[in-house]
């Protein structure tokens, strides 16, 4: 490395998280800022800044993150000049693909801008199952999995433009936090309605564990940049985060029921159109408009204001992506297990029962 390159790297003191007006993006940003506040980071991170990109600031609680020290930038991801400006002095980018019909074009623009500004490392948060679309037996794959296909293409772009050790992709499944959208049925009607056949098992996870795992990976990456040796489990380019044991709908209902202290919760197989109606209903539900005030605790799996799925997160593209994921589950493609997350956390990820025990009071609000 030339002296000029070393000086250039020294001046790169900005880390970027995209899509911070989403559930995962907001939680990820909060975890990084909390670490900076608590001085959890090593000396190699002092003086660094966090830049958060969003489509819209309005109604997402982003001012809370600004008060913690973040720089928030409202962007049009397809504006290449603007994206280049966003990538100025940036060392690492954590890209969370948008929930939009243009997500592929937006990601391409972001990746090009990062490459143009000599960003060192690109990480991407992706979905479990994107590499299994074509394993499902159906001749209408492109139309049936349009959103997951796009995410798969974005993965390929990242691998090509930031090849070798310059990229890291983390795939994760459906999050326990999405059960809040079913809380009125769980708490009020004693049923767990899902568009999955009762014998189909699939993996799901606590957002707290996903964020903690990604945060630990990012921290190790920064240590590597600083010239420190890191363990082998932190050197992979693709990680697949799963729970210890995939469950079917009836097993999920049992674990959720035990976690909530009610043992008669029943699983109900419903249609895609029924779950869409439920999500459309939640979009108008005032209880999902504001974030709760609780601070929460990542390590215990206790939700805080940063991990609650407000109804502004329910976009058309988000709903369609969820439906595609359920279709993969119905094809048996999400009955899978890896030890990636366990190795990174150095413990088992939170079980569904444990998560509901920890967040029982949050769910009781929807009775």
CATH number of the domain to which 36 belongs? 3.40.50.720
d(CA 43, CA 57): 32
For residue 38, the 8-state DSSP code is T
Residue with tokens 């490392």: 121
Mean pLDDT of the chain: 90
Q: How confident is the model at residue 225 (pLDDT cuts 50, 70, 90)?
A: confident
Q: Is the dihedral of CA 67, 68, 70, 72 positive or negative?
A: negative
Determine the pLDDT at residue 6: 41
Q: Please determine, for residue 360, whether its predicted confidence score (pLDDT) is greater than 60.
A: yes
Residue with token string 């994921």: 325
pLDDT of residue 219: 87
Residue 279 has pLDDT above 90, yes or no: yes
Q: Which two tokens stand for residue 254?
A: 């049992």
pLDDT tens digits along 43-100: 555 567 999 999 998 889 999 999 999 999 999 999 999 999 999 999 999 999 999 9
pLDDT at 82: 94
pLDDT given at position 303: 95
Give how many domains the chain has, as a whole number: 1
The pLDDT of residue 226 is above 50: yes
Average confidence (pLDDT) over 336-363 = 95
Residue 54's domain spans which residues?
3-365
Q: Which of 79, 80, 64, 70 is nearest to 15 (CA)?
A: 70
Say what the pLDDT of residue 140 is.
53
Q: What gap in Å lies between CA 18 and CA 154, rounded to an integer?
A: 14
For every residue of 277-336, DSSP letters joined together read HHHHHHHT-GGGTS------BTTTTB--GGG---GGG--HHHHHHHHHHHHHHHTTTT--
Task: Give the closest residue to 177 by CA, choosing from 70, 296, 268.
Answer: 296
pLDDT of residue 141: 46
Model pTM? 0.92
| pLDDT tens digit sequence for 8-29 | 455 678 999 999 999 999 999 9
Q: What does the pLDDT read at residue 107? A: 97
- Integer angstrom CA distances of residue 34 from 39, 63, 201, 298: 8, 15, 35, 10
Q: What is the CA radius of gyration of the chain?
A: 20
């Amino acid at each position: 490395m030339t002296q000029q390159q070393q000086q250039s790297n020294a001046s790169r003191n900005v880390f970027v998280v995209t899509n911070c007006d989403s559930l995962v993006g907001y939680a990820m940003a909060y975890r990084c800022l909390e670490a900076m506040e608590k001085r959890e980071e090593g000396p190699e991170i002092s003086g660094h800044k966090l830049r958060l990109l969003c489509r819209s600031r309005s109604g997402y609680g982003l001012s809370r993150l600004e008060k913690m020290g973040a720089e928030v930038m409202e962007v049009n991801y397809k504006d290449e000049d603007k994206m280049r400006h966003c990538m100025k002095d940036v060392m690492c980018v954590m890209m969370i693909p948008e929930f939009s019909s243009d997500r592929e074009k937006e990601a391409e623009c972001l990746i090009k801008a990062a490459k143009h500004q000599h960003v060192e490392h690109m990480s991407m948060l992706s979905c479990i199952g994107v590499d299994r679309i074509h394993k499902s037996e159906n001749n209408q794959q492109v139309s049936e999995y349009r959103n997951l296909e796009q995410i798969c293409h974005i993965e390929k772009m990242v691998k090509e433009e930031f090849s070798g050790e310059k990229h890291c992709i983390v795939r994760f499944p459906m999050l326990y936090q999405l059960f809040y959208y079913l809380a009125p049925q769980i708490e009020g009607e004693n049923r767990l309605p899902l568009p999955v056949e009762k014998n189909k098992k699939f993996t799901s996870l606590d957002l707290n564990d996903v964020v903690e795992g990604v945060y630990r990976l990012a921290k190790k990456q920064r240590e590597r940049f600083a010239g420190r040796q890191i363990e082998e489990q932190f050197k992979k380019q693709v990680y697949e985060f799963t729970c210890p044991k995939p469950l079917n709908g009836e097993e999920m209902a049992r674990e959720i029921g035990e976690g909530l202290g009610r043992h008669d919760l029943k699983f109900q197989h419903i249609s895609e159109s029924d779950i869409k109606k439920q999500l459309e209903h939640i979009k108008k539900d005032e209880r999902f408009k504001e974030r709760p005030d609780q601070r929460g605790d990542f390590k215990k799996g206790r939700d805080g204001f940063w991990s609650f799925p407000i109804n502004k997160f329910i976009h058309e593209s988000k709903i369609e992506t969820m439906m595609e994921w359920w279709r993969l589950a119905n094809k048996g493609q999400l009955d899978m297990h890896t030890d990636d997350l366990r190795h990174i956390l150095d413990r088992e990820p939170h079980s569904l029962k444990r998560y509901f025990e920890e967040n029982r009071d949050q769910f009781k609000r929807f009775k």
